[in-house]
Amino acid sequence: MKKKKPKTMETVLYALVILVLAVTALNQYQISKFSGMVVGSVASVPNTDSSGNIDVSQFMPKGIPSIYGSELKVSFDDVVGSLSVLSAMDWDLTQEDSPNGMSMKFSDLTDDQKARYIKIGSSIACEYCCGAKTMVMKNGQPACGCSHSAAMRALTKYLLTKHGTEYTDEQILNELVKWKTLFFPKQMTAKLLQQGGKTQSSNQLPDMVGGC
């Protein structure tokens, strides 16, 4: 009787295929997250100063956000005012009803919305303000007490409850990154330009907009 050939090589090839698929999936996920950070593509931004540095003001979101901007009376052009409106809506932190009557509670979310909320909240943080590594904890409660994190949490809950079928998780994350760019303009634009291999403009940007 012939002896069966060992399947070592077959096993190794199978493992390599699985590894390649896993790496590809991870890369696609990271790309989708990064694309949300790019308010404008580094390569497509033409305006530079006399030294050839990119004018980072072009990365700043402007105008009224579509859909929720008019509903919540918030604008990218009024960062401090919008921060005040959005942060007051995070009932899980304030334990108080917001002035605009839009208090967002984690307990009011459906099970599906809670899962999406935790997933999104675990993908972003206001680390430049309080050093938190995520926006929410695993149980969905606030991981940080600063107003920037509260504003992003409230907006996430609002979009999930009011427009959950219109926004994917990646699109909601994209909106959060836009606000985070306005909250922490110097750090966010520097990070984006560094990833694109570009040099930051000499224009001075604040470390943080609004109180922590």
In a domain, 31, yes or no: no
In a domain, 149, yes or no: yes
36-78 per-position pLDDT tens digit: 444 443 334 445 555 556 677 777 999 999 999 999 999 999 9
Phi/psi for 160 (5° steps) reads: -70, -40
Kindly state the percentage of the chain with pLDDT values over 90.
Answer: 56
In a domain, 137, yes or no: yes
Residue range 2-7: average pLDDT? 49
pLDDT surpassing 80 at residue 211: no
In a domain, 141, yes or no: yes
Phi/psi for 48 (5° steps) reads: -135, 165
CA distances from 165 to 6, 73, 94, 112, 159 (A): 51, 21, 27, 12, 9
Q: Which domain holds residue 181?
A: 61-195
Give residue 125's pLDDT.
Answer: 94
pLDDT band at 212 (very low <50, low <70, confident <90, very high): confident
In a domain, 172, yes or no: yes
In a domain, 56, yes or no: no
Give residue 43's pLDDT.
Answer: 38
In a domain, 19, yes or no: no
Q: In the beta sheet, which residues pair with residue 48?
A: 54
161-197 per-position pLDDT tens digit: 999 999 999 999 999 999 999 999 988 988 877 776 6
* Total domain count, the chain: 1
What pTM was computed for the model? 0.76
Please indicate whether residue 178 or residue 25 has the higher confidence score (pLDDT): 178
Q: Which two tokens stand for residue 145?
A: 């007490």
Phi/psi for 54 (5° steps) reads: -75, 140
Give residue 198's pLDDT.
Answer: 64
In a domain, 210, yes or no: no
Give residue 42's pLDDT.
Answer: 37
Give residue 47's pLDDT.
Answer: 56
Residue range 17-26: average pLDDT? 47
Q: Which two tokens stand for residue 22?
A: 């896993």
Residue range 114-128: average pLDDT? 96
